[in-house]
Amino acid sequence: MAGSMSEATRRQVDNALCRGRAEVVDIDAARMVSDSAEQEIASVVEQACALLSQHRLTILRTSRRVEARQLIDALCEKSAMSRQQLGERLSQRLGVVTLNIIGQAR
């Protein structure tokens, strides 16, 4: 799970992709904190489980572009949440994704 928007995380994911070491499932952070969260969670879990069932290393990421960091304030405003609230909600829902993937892998 690459939930960080840091430059270091982005480089690490890009490195794994360039070397063909892993597949990526992109997570729409805006959908994850909206009323569409259940659909986004289901989609991400389905994609990740499909890759894992093929024995592919799989990275889940919330941000693929550096510019996404600048969109956080707009997302906070749109969602009527502080940065902390937004981060907590996103973290909680990423936890749900992880638990659902583990649950389906059993």
Beta pairing, strands 23-26 & 58-61: parallel
The one-digit pLDDT tens for each residue of the chain (106 residues) are 876 667 788 888 888 888 888 999 999 989 999 999 999 999 999 999 999 999 999 999 987 666 666 788 889 999 899 999 999 999 999 999 999 999 997 7
Helix (H) or strand (E) holding 60: strand 58-61
Q: What are phi and psi of 25, to 5 degrees?
A: -115, 115
Q: For the whole model, what pTM was predicted?
A: 0.85
